């Protein structure tokens, strides 16, 4: 089964009104292939979401970087899937390693966010990844499989078509140290096998698993040639014109 490539740009907590406008201009003028060839999402900070949505070419999907697991109510500082939806947002990244490590989000909370976002109709991008010490100790799958289990427990069979799994080794995020194509392939193959065994063969064949961690215009071609790498979640390079090169390299 062929899976449509997917590339996401996670702008994190970066940008000013001026730099966001400059980035939108660059993307609007870029010659990235159309939606039939590749799904491309950009995830600005919440405060810029509606501005980006109203000014970016609709060829790009605008995503939130997080949502809450509660809905509307007395949850100061958070954003519910319902209000994101009301603002026209259709996609949300959940459980990025910075949410897990800096904001101490647990697998349980991440699972609850996934369940609510899917219930509200979102496409979701759950992120998983191991730390360097865990990989060096040969424990990568011991970390990833429980993370996958917490995700899968919150996805109904009919919702899997709205899920893109982002495998992001924590040691590769923002470090300039990219996983080798073989490391990405081997790990993502293992994840697909886990899904085949624990969800279904059909979902394992169709679900997109993307790699994230120091992806750039120079390394993306070789990474994307791996059979189980269906695309990328990109941090630093998504703030630069090179993001379009990454999309062109895989589409
Ligand atoms: C990320 O934040 O998801 C990421 C992969 O960052 P970078 O591309 O900068 O490593």
Q: What pLDDT does residue 245 have?
A: 95
Would you give the distance in Å from CA 57 to the centre of its chain? Answer: 20
The predicted-structure confidence for 82-114, as pLDDT tens digits, reads as follows: 999 999 999 999 999 999 999 999 999 999 999
- Dist. CA 169–CA 7, nearest whole Å: 17
What mean pLDDT, rounded, does the chain reach?
97
Ligand 1: nearest atom to the Cα of 96: 3
For the chain, the structural domain boundaries read 6-250
Residues of the chain with pLDDT under 70: 1
Q: What pLDDT does residue 251 have?
A: 87
Ligand 1 proximity of 174 Cβ (cutoff 6 Å) = yes
Residues sharing a CB contact under 8 Å with residue 86, sequence separation 6 or more, in sequence order:
none
Task: Answer whether CATH 3.20.20.70 is correct for domain 6-250.
Answer: yes
Q: Is 181 helix (H, G, I), strand (E, B) or coil?
A: helix
Which entry of 46, 79, 96, 130 is annotated as an active-site residue?
96
Copy the structure tokens of residue 230: 């269906």
Is 108 marked active-site?
A: no
- Dist. CA 226–CA 222, nearest whole Å: 7
Q: What pLDDT does residue 198 have?
A: 98
Cα→Cα distances 224→69, 98, 194, Å: 33, 24, 21
Is 51 marked active-site?
A: no
Ligand 1 proximity of 213 Cβ (cutoff 6 Å) = yes
What is the distance in angstroms between the CA of the first residue and the CA of the last residue of the chain?
16
Q: 214: CA distance to ligand 1 center in Å? A: 6
Q: What pLDDT does residue 2 have?
A: 85
């Amino acid at each position: 089964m062929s899976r449509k490539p997917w590339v996401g740009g996670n702008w994190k907590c970066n940008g000013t009104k001026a730099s966001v406008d400059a980035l939108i201009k660059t993307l609007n003028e870029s010659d990235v292939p159309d939606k039939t060839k590749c799904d491309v999402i950009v995830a600005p900070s919440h405060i810029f979401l509606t501005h980006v949505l109203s000014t970016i070419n609709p060829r790009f999907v605008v995503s939130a970087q997080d949502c809450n697991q509660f809905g509307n109510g007395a949850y100061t500082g958070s954003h519910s899937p319902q209000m994101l939806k009301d603002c026209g947002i259709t996609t949300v990244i959940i459980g990025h390693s910075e949410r897990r490590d800096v904001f101490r989000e647990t697998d349980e909370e991440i699972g609850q966010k996934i369940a609510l976002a899917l219930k509200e109709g979102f496409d979701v991008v759950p992120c998983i990844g191991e730390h360097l010490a865990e990989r060096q100790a040969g424990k990568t799958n011991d970390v990833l499989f429980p993370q996958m289990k917490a995700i899968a427990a919150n996805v109904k069979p009919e919702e899997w078509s709205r899920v893109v799994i982002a495998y992001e080794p924590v040691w590769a995020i923002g470090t300039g140290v990219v996983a080798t194509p073989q490391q990405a392939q081997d790990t993502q193959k293992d994840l697909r096998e886990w899904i085949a065994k624990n969800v279904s063969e059909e979902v394992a064949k169709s679900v997109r698993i993307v790699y994230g961690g120091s992806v750039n215009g120079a390394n993306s071609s070789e990474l994307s040639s791996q059979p189980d790498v269906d695309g990328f979640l990109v941090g630093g390079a998504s703030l630069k014109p090179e993001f379009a090169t990454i999309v062109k390299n895989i589409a």
